[in-house]
Amino acid sequence: MKHNNKRYFEGGSPLKTAIKTKSFSLKTKSYFTDFGLKRMVYTVLASLIAVYSITSCSSNDYNHTFQSPKMAIESYTFFLADLKQEKTASIQDLTKFVRDWQILSDSVWSCIKRDTTQRVHYYPEANYHHLHDSIREEMYRLVFSQPRTFKDVVVLKAACTPYSNDSIIKNATMDASAFFDSLDNNPTLKIGQTELLAKYDKFLTNTITSGINDKKQLMAFIREEDILFRSFLSHLHNMEHTSMSDITHKTEELVANMFKDDARLQPKDAVVYMAMRTNRRLLLNAQTCIQDIRAQRVKSDQQLTAYLFMVVQPYLAIDDFGMAVLSEKQRYFFEQIATDTPTAVNAIHKQRKEGTGMQTDFPKLLLKLHLSTF
């Protein structure tokens, strides 16, 4: 939301905060202990955050033109009171409440910030923050008021991304969608793991040397990298003790170079294409994990832990901007993964002889984590 822009521009994204907590702090030893895409995702997200500002969804359910901060606070108070009357909420209702909250909150905050009146015992900002926190708690309550699914997480995040009405992003995404949808037509490499990793490393080294200077070169890079990445995923279940540090570091360097001040690549192309590339990689990675789990290719406890994280990683790592640039095909792909996620989670817990609470609780926790960023 607009008043939280500082958090995004300073690089303190919720995703980074969540992953930096103790529960996710793992040493980089292999693809599994580093969860493969994690560091590459952060490099891209850090670049995206610095380019686009937050915009808002639209809604007509509340009057958002306020003559004074007092009127704005009263409207926010009424909204809180209405929420308290709701005993439960379907995902459709919850999504509508969140969208209304986003719009109303931005309007209230904008009115308060425009007011320069100095009066004794006049604390509209404090009142706003108190109401905002209370509304967030009511949203949490409604999230936990009934069972939720992983697909619910996708639905709400897609509907409530603040970039949804940005015509520049929409048009750029439509232009890029055909290219990304065509990538599945390129066959993977049928070569051994060692040869593949060497080829992957050499490709990145050569690209760093030559650089990516225009949209055509960017598309060529993404096309070739996608072939290598999908080829790599076919070996994923055998990568438990394989170090990916060289490939990870070179990918980070290459991506960082695209966003340097002296880079010749157009920022819009770099941002949209790299975000869509990251979405695709996250979803392909999760799909491969689900397929490997179904085929019982995952054996060790370390692998099971890593696979579990990689299956749920798209829900964490695809942020508001990432949701906005999902192509229709990627959105359908994400929803299919969401449908398949519970089966994979159950299989992991069964293999580890654990309960299945994660399947029922995790979607709620993911929704709560998302709402905590508002």
Tokens describing residue 104: 């109303």
Between the CA of residue 345 and those of 28, 128, 309, 319, what are the distances in Å? 24, 40, 10, 22
CA neighbor of 37 nearest in space, from 366, 270, 312? 312
pTM above 0.85, yes or no: no
Question: Cα separation of 94 and 98, whole Å?
Answer: 6
DSSP 65: -
Residue type, 187: P
Distance between CA atoms of residues 266 and 237, nearest Å: 38
**pLDDT at position 69, please?**
87
In this predicted structure, what is the pLDDT of residue 60? 41
Per-residue pLDDT of the chain (374 residues; tens, 9 = 90+): 444 433 222 233 333 333 333 333 333 345 655 545 555 555 555 545 444 433 333 344 444 678 888 899 999 999 999 999 999 999 999 999 999 999 999 999 988 888 766 664 457 888 999 999 999 999 999 999 999 999 999 999 999 998 888 888 889 999 999 999 999 999 999 999 999 999 999 999 999 999 998 899 999 999 999 999 999 999 999 988 888 889 999 999 998 888 876 667 788 888 999 999 999 999 999 999 999 999 999 888 888 889 999 999 999 999 999 999 999 999 999 999 999 999 888 888 887 776 655 566 889 999 999 999 88
* pLDDT given at position 17: 33
Distance of CA 319 to the CA centre of its chain: 3
**Maximum alpha-carbon separation in the chain:** 75
H-helix segments, the chain? 5-9, 14-20, 38-49, 69-84, 91-114, 124-143, 150-160, 167-182, 193-210, 215-233, 245-258, 267-294, 301-317, 320-324, 328-351, 357-371
**Beta carbons within 8 Å of 16's beta carbon, 6+ residues apart:** 42, 45
Distance of CA 266 to the CA centre of its chain: 23
Closest CA to 275 of 114, 40, 5: 40
Distance CA 20, CA 216 (A): 36
Question: Tokens at residue 71, please?
Answer: 């009127």
Residue 61's pLDDT is 45
Q: Are 289 and 236 in contact (CB under 8 A)?
A: yes
Q: How far is CA 160 from CA 47, 59, 99, 197, in A?
A: 22, 11, 6, 39
